[in-house]
Chains A and B, each alone.
Chain A
């Protein structure tokens, strides 16, 4: 039961790699030139800093969730009802 679904991460990585190979740099468009950014709106700066603070917290939480979902036996604190 534990090993069910373990194909998912390798399959996703393979699909991602394939996508990157298929979508070549030829498809790149020119961007918006070399203009310097206009002075930012306050809400943009506020959003950036709030999200930068959230980033490591959310990242660690999601990483732990992924660990618990895929490899629960590697958690120090075992899931409730978990038995080796």
Chain B
């Protein structure tokens, strides 16, 4: 039993060492493309609502127009944000210096964003809505509507990742 645990721990440590060693740059670039695609979808959604004047329920970004559940599924939003947090945490040891500082900023903000999504997911599962709302509501949603709020969240998480990548690139220059 102890050996099995040690093996699991050793396996994870070995996986993390590879992820933050030889595979770090590749993993980071794939992760950044995923985050970029999600960021682009939120920009598209905000453009549809505030520039094109679409109804919020009709504004599903680009993919959401063909697959509406991508924009409306609470589970999918939660799963993506959990993945984003996990990716930020797992890839963090591979950064040094200023790059790590910026990456940590993104991780902290994403921690709060994930907490908000956990609240939303919990309410959706329980069918009990906080703050007397008629649907699932997060804390900052008391002041900022959902589309604007999550557009802002994704901006605030994504922006620190760019200087982190810039400083990372300077260390791992080609």
Residues of B within 8 A of A (CB): 22-23, 25-30, 32-34, 36, 39-40, 43, 46-47, 49-51, 53-58, 67-70, 72-76, 79, 124, 135-136, 145-146, 148, 151-152, 155, 162, 165, 169, 173-174
CB pair A36–B151 under 8 Å, yes or no, is no
Q: How far is the CB of B145 from chain A (nearest CB, A)?
A: 8
Across the interface, B169 reaches (CB within 8 A) one of A45, A51, A65, namely: A65
Give A1 to B25 CA distance when docked, in angstroms: 13
A23-B76 in contact given A29-B136, A47-B152, A66-B33 (Cβ < 8 Å): yes
CB pair A44–B36 under 8 Å, yes or no, is no
CB pair A33–B26 under 8 Å, yes or no, is no
A35-B23 in contact given A65-B169, A80-B174 (Cβ < 8 Å): no
Give A45 to B148 CA distance when docked, in angstroms: 10
CB pair A66–B32 under 8 Å, yes or no, is yes
CB pair B51–A23 under 8 Å, yes or no, is no
Give A44 to B155 CA distance when docked, in angstroms: 11
- Find the A residue at minimum CB distance from B172: A69
Residues of A within 8 A of B (CB): 4-6, 8-9, 12, 19-20, 23-25, 27-38, 40-41, 44-45, 47-48, 51-52, 55, 58-59, 62-63, 65-66, 68-70, 72, 79-80, 82
CB pair A59–B165 under 8 Å, yes or no, is no
Q: 20 other contacts beyond A27-B75, A31-B56, A65-B165, with CB at 8 A cut-off?
A: A8-B27, A28-B68, A29-B136, A31-B57, A32-B135, A32-B146, A34-B58, A35-B57, A37-B50, A44-B46, A47-B155, A51-B39, A52-B47, A58-B162, A62-B29, A62-B36, A63-B33, A65-B29, A66-B30, A69-B28
- Find the B residue at minimum CB distance from A26: B69
Q: How far is the CB of B48 from chain A (nearest CB, A)?
A: 9
CB pair A8–B169 under 8 Å, yes or no, is no
Give A72 to B173 CA distance when docked, in angstroms: 13
Of listed A8, A35, A44, residue having the most chain B CB within 10 A: A44
Residues of A within 8 A of B174 (CB): 68, 72, 79-80, 82
- Find the A residue at minimum CB distance from B146: A32
CB pair A19–B79 under 8 Å, yes or no, is yes
Give A20 to B50 CA distance when docked, in angstroms: 28
